[in-house]
């Protein structure tokens, strides 16, 4: 039987969320420490645990069928793979930073400067687009100490909270790339593997949609129902159930996370009471 080979980071910032994603999709496997490979016992998939930087190459070569990496790694490695799905976790940015005491008047100030980075391709593209010629020093780690040891004037590194830059006396002056975890896939999957992948994507979609929505139950006098129903789309339309108290109903519906509080305010003004909000585990249209 065909198995979809899925490459995920062995240990690092992507690991936990990647494992969680499959768990939420009901896919069971043993991810115990030290494992390099494991097969799911309830889904046709095999998992490979690898360093994130190696994942795009393995997917391009067909050793793995799909993999999870940061977009930064995907774009930097430039392998011929497809982005199958954006996953919304491990959000970060790739930024240029300079010593805090220096002034910065714009990108032209980088002209002729030495910049240390582990992302020479993304940085090189940014500089080229801005007509800047700078000296890119490629280093593989601890980029943030480069200015203090005299290796470079500036750095181009991943930033999340900004505390690493702060601790090293640097300030962020240009955000050149925004990243999140993405699922990448081989461009040449067999029909059988594509069909396993579409099952997986269907489950991921259900989990992601559920996270973006809440189940809501509220009570309202029947006279307020038309206005309340107008505010609540539901999956088709809201469910209305009569309450034991004459003239009152309970309304069940689904609310998007996006305009959640605005909708709650509007519902209360329309006469809603006793509003319960419950997380949804899966949502399937
Ligand atoms: O061992 P392996 O090669 O597999 O892992 P790795 O050490 O190369 O990668 P890892 O686990 O550190 O990061 C994996 C991915 O997580 C990255 O490719 C990014 O897409 C994403 N990510 C999200 C981050 C960060 N946030 C992050 N903060 N990657 C790195 N950092 C580092 C950054 O390099 C800097 O040193 O954290 C520091 C900055 O963090 P703040 O919070 O101080 O700004
Ligand atoms: Zn890495």
Task: State whether the beta carbon of 54 lies less than 6 angstroms from ligand 1.
Answer: no
Per-residue pLDDT tens over the stretch 52-103: 999 999 999 999 999 999 999 999 999 999 999 999 999 999 999 999 999 9
**Per-residue pLDDT for 46 more than 90?**
yes
CA–CA gap between residue 42 and residue 22 (Å, rounded): 12
pLDDT of residue 1: 78
pLDDT at residue 119 is higher than 80 = yes
Spacing, Cα 273 to ligand 1 middle (Å): 46
The reply to whether ligand 1 has any atom less than 6 angstroms from the CB of 163 is: yes
State whether the beta carbon of 159 lies less than 6 angstroms from ligand 1. Answer: yes
Atom 4, ligand 1: residue with shortest CA distance: 51
Which structure tokens are listed for 231?
């505010």
Q: CA Rg, the chain, in Å?
A: 25
| Residue 166: pLDDT over 80 | yes
d(CA 26, CA 277): 24
Long-range contacts of 187-193 (CB under 8 A, 24+ apart): 187/80, 187/81, 187/82, 188/62, 189/65, 190/2, 192/2, 193/2, 193/4, 193/65
DSSP state for residue 105 in the 8-state scheme: -
What is the CA(176)–ligand 1 centre distance, in A?
Answer: 16
């Amino acid at each position: 039987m065909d198995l979809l080979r899925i490459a995920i980071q062995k240990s690092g910032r992507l690991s936990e969320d990647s494992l969680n994603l499959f768990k939420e999709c009901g896919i069971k496997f043993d991810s115990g420490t030290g494992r390099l490979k494991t097969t799911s016992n309830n889904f046709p998939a095999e998992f490979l645990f690898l360093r994130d930087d190696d994942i795009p190459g393995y997917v391009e070569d067909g050793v793995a069928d799909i993999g999870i990496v940061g977009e930064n790694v995907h774009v930097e490695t430039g392998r011929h793979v497809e982005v199958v799905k954006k996953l919304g976790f491990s959000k970060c940015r790739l930024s240029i930073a300079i010593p805090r005491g220096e002034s910065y008047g714009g990108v032209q100030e980088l002209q002729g400067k030495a910049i240390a980075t582990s992302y020479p391709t993304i940085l090189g593209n940014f500089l080229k687009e801005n007509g800047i010629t700078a000296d890119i020093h490629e280093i593989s780690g601890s980029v943030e100490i480069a200015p203090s040891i005299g290796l470079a004037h500036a750095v181009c590194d991943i930033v999340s909270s900004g505390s690493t830059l702060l601790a090293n006396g640097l300030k962020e002056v240009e955000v050149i790339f925004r990243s999140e975890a993405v699922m990448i896939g081989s461009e040449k999957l067999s029909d059988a593997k594509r069909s396993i992948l579409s099952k997986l994507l269907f489950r991921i979609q259900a989990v992601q949609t559920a996270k973006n929505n809440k189940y809501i139950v509220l009570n309202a006098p029947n006279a307020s129902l038309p206005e309340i129903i107008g505010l609540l789309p539901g999956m088709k339309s809201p469910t209305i159930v009569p309450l034991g108290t004459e003239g009152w109903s309970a309304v069940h519906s689904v609310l998007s996370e996006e305009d959640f509080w605005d909708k709650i305010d509007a519902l209360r003004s329309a006469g809603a009471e006793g509003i319960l909000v419950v997380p949804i585990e899966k949502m399937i249209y």
